[in-house]
Amino acid sequence: MEALIPVINKLQDVFNTVGADIIQLPQIAVVGTQSSGKSSVLESLVGRDLLPRGTGVVTRRPLILQLVHVDPGDARKNDDSGRDGEEWGKFLHTKNTIYTDFDEIRQEIENETERVSGNNKGISDEPIHLKIFSPHVVNLTLVDLPGITKVPVGDQPKDIEVQIRDLILKHISNPNSIILAVTAANTDMATSEALKVAREVDPDGRRTLAVVTKLDLMDAGTDAMDVLMGRVIPVKLGLIGVVNRSQLDINNKKSVADAIRDEYAFLQKKYPSLANRNGTKYLARTLNRLLMHHIRDCLPELKARINVLAAQYQSLLSSYGEPVGDQSATLLQLITKFATEYCNTIEGTAKYIETAELCGGARICYIFHETFGRTLESVDPLGGLSTIDILTAIRNATGPRPSLFVPEVSFELLVKKQVKRLEEPSLRCVELVHEEMQRIIQHCSNYSTQELQRFPKLHEAIVEVVTSLLRKRLPITNEMVHNLVAIELAYINTKHPDFADACGVMNNNIEEQRRNRMRELPAGVPRDKAPAAGPQGEQDGTGSWRGMLKKGEDAPGSGPGSPLKGAVNLLDVPVPVARKLSSREQRDCEVIERLIKSYFLIVRKNIQDSVPKAVMHFLVNHVKDSLQSELVGQLYKSGLLNDLLTESEDMAQRRKEAADMLQALQRASQVIAEIRETHLW
| Interval 256-300: pLDDT, tens | 888 889 989 999 998 899 889 999 999 989 988 888 888 888 878
Asked whether the predicted pLDDT for residue 73 surpasses 70, the reply is: no
| Mean of per-residue pLDDT scores for the chain | 79
Cα–Cα dist 61/127, whole Å: 6
Greater confidence, 371 or 58? Answer: 371
| Residues ≥6 apart with Cβ < 8 Å to 128 | 61, 62, 63, 64, 91, 92, 93, 109, 112, 113
Angle, CA 639 vertex, CA 635 and CA 641 arms, to 5°: 60
For 216-242, how does the pLDDT look when each residue is reduced to its tens digit (9 = 90+)? 888 777 888 888 888 888 888 889 999
What pLDDT is attached to residue 567? 46
pLDDT for the residue 579: 63
The answer, yes or no, to whether residue 582 has pLDDT greater than 80, is: no
Give the pLDDT confidence score for residue 328 in this predicted structure.
84
> Quick one: residue 541, left, alpha or beta (phi over 0 = left, psi -120 to 50 = alpha)?
left
pLDDT greater at residue 561 or residue 92: 92
Q: Are 285 and 293 in contact (CB under 8 A)?
A: no
**By mean pLDDT, which of 285-294, 405-414, 576-585 is the weakest?**
576-585
Compute, in degrees rounded to 10, the torsion defined by CA atoms 237, 240, 246, 249: -110
More confident residue, 9 or 592: 592
Task: Read off the DSSP letter of residue 679.
Answer: T
**Lowest-confidence segment of 68-82, 536-550, 556-570 by average pLDDT:** 536-550
Most confident of 284-288, 431-435, 511-515, 584-588: 431-435
Integer CA distances (angstroms), 444 to 276, 315, 544, in order: 70, 18, 71
Mean pLDDT is highest, among 24-28, 93-97, 205-209, for 205-209
> Residue 184 in 3-state DSSP?
strand
pLDDT for 568 equals 46
664 pLDDT higher than 90 = no
Q: Which pLDDT band, with edges at 50, 70 and 90, does 372 fall under?
A: very high
Highest mean pLDDT among 14-23, 539-548, 608-617: 608-617
Q: CB of 609 within 8 A of CB of 564?
A: no
643 against 199, higher pLDDT: 199
Q: Mean pLDDT over residues 122-141, rounded? A: 87
d(CA 163, CA 339): 52
> Distance between CA 87 and CA 588 in Å, rounded?
115
Give yes or no for a contact between 7 and 671, defined as CB atoms under 8 angstroms apart.
yes
pLDDT at 515: 62
The separation between the first and the last C-alpha atoms of the chain, rounded to the nearest angstrom, is 7
User: Percentage of the chain surpassing pLDDT 90?
Assistant: 21
Question: pTM here?
Answer: 0.57
